[in-house]
Each structure stands twice: as C-alpha cells, then as structure tokens.
Amino acid sequence: MFSSERLKGIDVFVIVADVGSFTAAAERLNLTNSAVSKSVARLEGRLGIRLFQRTTRRLSLTEAGQIFYRTCTAVLSDLEEVEIALTSEQTEPQGKVRIDLPASYGRLHVLPLIIEFVKQHPRLSPHVSFSDRYVDPVHEGIDIVVRIGGPDAWPTSMGHQFFGTQKLIFCASPDYLGQYGQPHSESDLDGHLCVGYGQNDGMAIPWYFKGRQQGDRERRIMHPHIAVGDGEGEVMAVLAGLGIAQLPTWLVQAHLKSGRLVEVLPHLATEGLPMNLVWLKSREALPKVSALIEYLGANLTPTGRR
C-alpha cells in the first residue's frame, strides 16, 4: 500500500543535492539550516542508508544517494509535467525529453528528424545521446530509444515499433577495385583485403552470408586488414581504398549514388539486424513523448529516413 511518508523530505533532499550544501538549500527553501539538516536526517533514517557524504568542506552524494537522487528527480519531473498537462490542458509538446540513438544511424538519419521536429515545436527540449551499447530506459531514465538489434522479446514496461531490417551489402572504392580487381564469388573474398567492424575485445564482428535454406544466415569470421569500431570510421577506411567491407545500405547509400563506392557481389546481399523504435510505456501519454514517437515512427526506415 502506498504511504504518503515516502514523499516526505524528497523535495528537500533533491535541492540539497542540487546546491551542494544545507545552508544554500535552506536559503532557497526559506527554512532554517537546522530544519533542512533534520529533514535529510529523517529521510536517511527512514531509508536506513546514508545519502550524503559529509565533510567539513563539502557535501556529496554517496553511491546510494546518487541512485536515489536520479529516481527522485524523475518522479518530481513527472509530477510537474502531469500538473502542467492537467492545469493547462496541454497538447503542445514541451519540456525535456531524453533520447538515445545508435551512433552512426542516429547521427545520419534520426538526429536530422529530431532537429526538424524541434523547429516545429520550439518549446520541446530534447536531450540526445549516442551509444551502441545496450541501454536500460527504465533505470537510465530515457524516454525514447532507437536500436539496431535487441532482445527477442521486449520487456512489458516498454512499447516498441519494428520499422524494418537493415540490408547488408559488400562494397569497395573504385580505386581499390582498380588495383585488386572485382570479386565474383564468396571464395574470391579470401584473396582480398577486408575492412571490419572492431569490437572492444579486439575481435571483429563476423560477416553474414545467406544460409543453405531460405531465411537462414551463416556467420564467417574474417581477418580484417583494418578494423574500426565505428560505422562511419569503417566507411572512411573503405573510401580510402583499404579493402572490401560488408555495410548496411543506410550507411553507404549516398556514397553509392555519388560513385565513391561500388557494390560488389550483389547476389550475396543479406538481411542484417532488426531495427526498432522503443519507448517507456509509463511516459507515452505525455504529449512531448507521444508526438515524437509518432513522428519518428512515421519517418524512420531501414535505409534511413523518408
């Protein structure tokens, strides 16, 4: 059962953490220094943990305090937004929204859409981050995530929209092909230099090939001439003539159109990972979140953006 006791002292705790001292927090809240100190002490006593590391010179959050602070600020932010929506019958997207995007796909295709959306809704304040790691929107407080790959089943706390599967092709620069010749079969790749995607463990991501049965895929470990742990960096190496790479079409389509890259072995083109727009269900009713989900969902494609 919910107890109102859980809310006591949270606002004081957040302000103390924000300003870094009891004295400054007391001035902001128009309370005495003693009242602020006792409020935090009661909160720590109720939780059974230390929220602040106190020294004579400074006040800092403990590890537990940092976790509690992130949760409290998220809760207070949600309450504030609901109050605004109820009192003003708000329908216009406004306020801060956190978005995490895959590094290369995000910069090339999603960020331009977000920028265009903000131009249409200037009261919106997106906070955009880029990462190719797994992120947990619930624990990291992220409203919307775009992901290439992901779990077979998304948690029930998240909504998601599948918007396609990336297509992987082999490509090289005209200069490279002029020097080393065109490959004509999968076995020909053994005689060519390859550019790979490097992982933090020192290994390169395998290349994918069609399996013997329809819908199957086989992975093949390659030994790259150069491995780069970033999609756009991998393209730079291919443009420089350092070898053949297997890359998603959304990453190279502009270079293919300009002739700076050439597709090779088109019969070996294959499907890559699924692409999804993901969001927290607990936040989807907020206009700033729902409007952006709708906009991105209507414009994202496996080859880029509409």
pLDDT at residue 215, rounded to an integer: 67
* CA angle 113–301–103, rounded 5-degree value: 60
Same domain for 59 and 203? no
Q: What is the CATH number of the domain that holds 254?
A: 3.40.190.10
Q: Which of 78-82, 247-251, 256-260, 294-298 has the lowest mean pLDDT?
A: 78-82
User: What percent of the chain is modeled with pLDDT above 90?
Assistant: 60
pLDDT at residue 199, rounded to an integer: 87
Domain that holds residue 121: 95-163+275-305
Task: Tell me, yes or no, whether 88 lies in a domain.
Answer: no
| Cβ within 8 Å of residue 226, ≥6 positions away | 195, 196, 237, 242, 243
Q: Is 16 exposed, middle or buried (0-12, 13-18, 19+ CB in 10 A)?
A: buried
Same domain for 122 and 256? no
Mean pLDDT of the chain: 89
Per-residue pLDDT band at 1 (split at 50, 70, 90): very low
Task: Tell me, yes or no, whether 85 lies in a domain.
Answer: no
- Tally the domains of the chain: 3
Q: Do residues 105 and 113 make contact, with C-beta atoms less than 8 angstroms apart? A: no
Encode 175-212: b = buried (16+ Cβ within 10 Å), e = exposed.
ebbeeeeebeeeeebeebbbbbbbeeeeebbebbbbee
Q: Provide the whole-model pTM.
A: 0.73
Same domain for 225 and 149? no
Same domain for 215 and 234? yes
Task: Tell me, yes or no, whether 8 lies in a domain.
Answer: yes
Q: What residue type is assigned to position 212 of the chain?
A: R
Q: What is the CATH number of the domain that holds 42?
A: 1.10.10.10
Same domain for 263 and 179? yes
Q: Is it the case that residue 157 has pLDDT exceeding 90?
A: no
Task: Tell me, yes or no, whether 107 lies in a domain.
Answer: yes
Q: How many CA atoms lie within 13 A of 94 on its CB side?
A: 12
Distances (CA, A) of 276 to 17, 32, 108, 164: 36, 51, 16, 8
pLDDT at residue 39, rounded to an integer: 92
pLDDT at residue 89, rounded to an integer: 47
Q: Which of 84-88, 221-225, 284-288, 295-299 has the lowest mean pLDDT?
A: 84-88
Per-residue pLDDT band at 86 (split at 50, 70, 90): low
Same domain for 135 and 13? no
